[in-house]
Amino acid sequence: MHPHQHRHSIFCILPPHMLEEIARSGGPEHREWALQTLAVDSTMRSERVTEQLLRVPTASLATPHKERFIYTANHASTLPGALVRSEAQAATGDAATDEAYDGFGATFDLYWSIFQRNSIDNAGLNLIGTVHYGQNYDNAFWNGSQMVFGDGDGTYFNRFTASIDVIGHELTHGVTGHQANLVYHDQPGALNESVSDVFGSLVKQYAHAPQQTAAQADWLIGEGLFTTAVNGVALRSMKAPGTAYDDKVLGKDPQPAHMSHYVTTTSDNGGVHINSGIPNHAFYLLAVALGGHAWEKAGLIWYTTLCDPRLSSNAQFQDFANLTVDNAGRLFGAAEQQATIDAWQQVGITVTATQPKISGNWVLHYSWGPTQTYSQVGLSFNSNGTFAGGATGKWQQQDGTVLLSFDGGPAKYAGTVDGNIGSGAMSTFGALDGCWYLSKQGMVGLTLSSAGGAPGTIDAAGTEHPEHPAANDRVAELVGAPS
Amino acid sequence: MRIRFQSDGGVGYFPGLDGPVIVDTAHLPPEEGARLERLVGAADFFSRPEAADVPAPGAADLRRSTIAIEDGGRSRTLEVIDPVEDSALHALIDALREAGKAARNH
Model confidence pLDDT, tens digit, residues A208-233: 999 999 999 999 999 999 999 999 99
Which of A139, A153, A172, A238 to probe by mutation at the B interface, max B CB count within 10 Å? Answer: A139
DSSP state of A3: -
Catalytic-residue membership of A273: yes
In angstroms, the Cα distances linking A361 to A42, A383, A403, A411, A442 are 15, 12, 16, 21, 9
B104 to chain A, any CB pair closer than 8 A? The answer is yes
Q: Please tell me which of the candidates A144, A249, A250 has its beta carbon nearest to residue B59.
A: A144
Res A40: pLDDT: 31
Residue A295: the pLDDT is: 98
Q: Is B54 on the interface with A (CB under 8 A)?
A: no
Dihedral of alpha carbons A243, A244, A246, A249, sign:
negative
- Give this prediction's pTM: 0.73
Is any Cβ of chain B less than 8 angstroms from the Cβ of A256? no
Q: Which residues are CB-neighbours of A18 under 8 A, at least 6 positions away?
A: none
Is B74 an interface residue toward A (CB < 8 Å)? Answer: no
| Segments in chain A below pLDDT 50 | 1-16, 19, 23, 34, 36-60, 429-430, 450-483
Residue of A134, A139, A153 lying closest to B98 (CB–CB): A153
Full domain range(s) for residue B82:
2-104
What is the total count of domains within chain B?
1
- Active-site residue, A467 included: no
How many contacts, defined by CB atoms under 8 Å, are there between A and B? Answer: 124
The pLDDT of B71-95, averaged and rounded, is 92
Q: Which one has a higher pLDDT value, B51 or A320? A: A320
- The three-class DSSP label of residue A222 is coil
Q: Do A196 and B60 touch (CB under 8 A)?
A: yes
User: With an 8 Å Cβ cutoff, are A249 and B60 in contact?
Assistant: no
Can you give the pLDDT at residue A365? 86
Identify all chain B residues contacting A169, using CB atoms and an 8 Å cutoff. 11, 61
B58: contact with A, CB 8 A cutoff: yes
Amino acid letter for position A197: D
Q: Where are the beta strands (DSSP E) in A191-259?
A: 220-221, 236-237, 246-247, 251-252
Three-state helix/strand/coil letters over A251-270: EECCCCCCHHHCCCCCCHHH
- What is the C-alpha separation between B2 and B67, in angstroms, rounded? 10
Decide if pLDDT at B93 tops 80: yes
Q: Which of A43, A18, A41 is nearest to A31 (CA)?
A: A18
Enumerate domains of chain A plus CATH numbers.
63-162 (3.10.170.10), 181-353 (1.10.390.10), 356-479 (2.40.128.80)
Residues 6+ apart with CB under 8 A from A170: A140, A141, A142, A147, A196, A200, B11, B60, B61
Test the B interface: residue of A157, A171, A249 with most B CBs within 10 Å: A249
Look at A254 and B61 and tell me if their CB atoms are within 8 Å: no
Three-state SS letters, B5-72: EEEEECCCCCHHHCCCEEEEHHHCCHHHHHHHHHHHHHCCHHHCCCCECCCCCCCECCEEEEEEEEEC
